[in-house]
Structure 1
Amino acid sequence: MAVHIFVVDEKNFDTCIRHGLAGMPKKTGNPSRDANTNEGLLSRMAIVKKNDLVLFYISKLKELHGVWKVLEYPFYDETHVWENEDGTTIYPYRVRIDNTEYNFMNPIKLNDLYDLRDNGVLWTFSLIRPNGTPNSMFSITNTEYEEIQNLFLKINPFYTQPKQIREPYRYFEPNLRNQLCFDENLKPRYEYTLMALILNGFAHSQYKDIFGEYNDFVSYVPTSFGKEMDILLLYNNPLVPKQTLAYNIIEVKRDMFDEDGMKQLLQYEDWFFMKKVNGDYNAIRTTAIASGFSDKVKDYLKKRKEYEGKEVLLLNYSVNQERELILKEESI
């Protein structure tokens, strides 16, 4: 179960609750300029799946409200719903939501969330991306959500009756993949396109023959050095489900994976080694996904395996006629 936080204003929040609908924006002012940005927004929604949980952060009030659940996989629909949809911005990347048994009257204030972050228990919470742009939606791990739920319970001694979804939005078949951009050779046009394909696969519990029995995953994970990890898989203890035992850091490149890409992946590995797993290298796995890998990368990984006993899984990707992603291990 993943948990997603949508960043909204008060009017948009009321619309979301009235219709049982959460949405992500799409820029429409300049299609050629905005295409890459829109693929990035779509890729964030691609992570969402049925029964995930949804929270809303109201930006001006600096409050976190919860908790709702996802009804189905997300879809694309341009029907006008939100008041601030205009000629340059619409919210077509959508997912239907419903109430849960947890309806908290008192929201969590931003300063309390920052206290959790400062204590190291809320480490994927990120209202602002490293490039300075605000997040419209981001995802956190289930372990982090448990800390947020505990805080909700502390400030809400009683559950309140959920507000009825007064005007439930109609059902749409999941169709986000139809919006992705490919070139004439069925290669993803942007790196975000590839990210959306991979995340959609994880949302459908695919690739376990490659990655094993992962229990949770998040994307665009912030670090303390101004970069975002593309994807992070989490593996829990089957005997103690709330205990995370291992992680897989995945770096994605649309084209050739070169030395710069490998340096970036290893920087994430070092950061995670120091900050998250208390120096336990057995708890970290690393993976690179690309259309190919440079000889220098392969040569380095051969020596790394020989001298340090550390491996990086290399995966070549391709897309078939049905626009399904195929991953195949690259030998070194």
Structure 2
Amino acid sequence: MRFATYEQDGTVHAGVAGEDGLHPLPDHTTVLDLVRAGLPAALEAGAAALRGPAVPPAAVRLRPPLEPPTVRDFVAFEEHVEGVVASVSGGAGVPPEWYDAPTFYFTNPYALLGAHDDVPIPPGCALFDFELEVAAVVGRDGASLDPARARDAIFGYTILNDWSARDLQRREMKVQLGPAKGKDSATTLGPWLVTADELAAHHDEDGFLALEMTVAVNGVRVGHDLLSNMGWPFAELVAYASRGTQVRAGDVLGSGTCGNGGCLAELWGRGREIPPLAPGDVVEMAVEGLGTIRNTVVAGTTLPPVARARPRLRHRTR
């Protein structure tokens, strides 16, 4: 089943995507409510909604499928790491530490955009980039989950575009903390949240989802990969996120960017001369079984330069 959040005439609704449009769920019901209720209850509510009238997709604005309490983004594709290390940090090869555990960072849950929203370039950014990813949504609370329980805890999946200000990211990463402003301006989620049962047939024998992923800029395909090229399956990512702490229903966990052109920075690191994104560029991402998101880049807010730090003082007493 495909759950969506949409806006119509200034009012936000939750619904189920069907062949004839979006079928509203009862008023005041959110997709996060359904996730927290558990998959069986969500499927029952969705089936009831599908028996009702549908709203034409052209009459609504798709919002992010849910409002997650947290968003973690992993870096689970080896090929992506290899290219971006050269582009962002000036290094070469994949750091040995990458193989030890699935690394992630927390990104901004307040900067989520819908499947067709415009995306402003962050202030001070001259190297704007996209990142083609898939995200898993946790369906139940848990702590220190093993991979088997973690897989059972996944409610569903959606497409994630982790928009990135590469020049800001390069500076931040040199401080050995981050990314920060290089990553928190915008993240697209959508078009809907596809429940895990719909994708069960796409799991291979090792638990990876073999879904085709593509990204195009202004109608020209730039990247193409299989989600099953991840270094760890989503069950391992959820288990690691919960290690020694908690995950909660509604948490979003991004796969990290796929390889083979999943972002411009990877291609820059491999010597490809492709310009960064500019106002007017249209980025379209499609993932098998999950749908398509399509965002237009627009000019962002112009702000004064950031103040530089003052040299440290040497006084030890007042």
TM-score band, normalised by the shorter chain? under 0.3
Higher RCO structure, 1 or 2 (CA under 8 Å, sep 6+): 2
TM-score (norm 1): 0.23
TM-score w.r.t. the length of structure 2 is 0.24
> Which has the larger helix fraction?
1
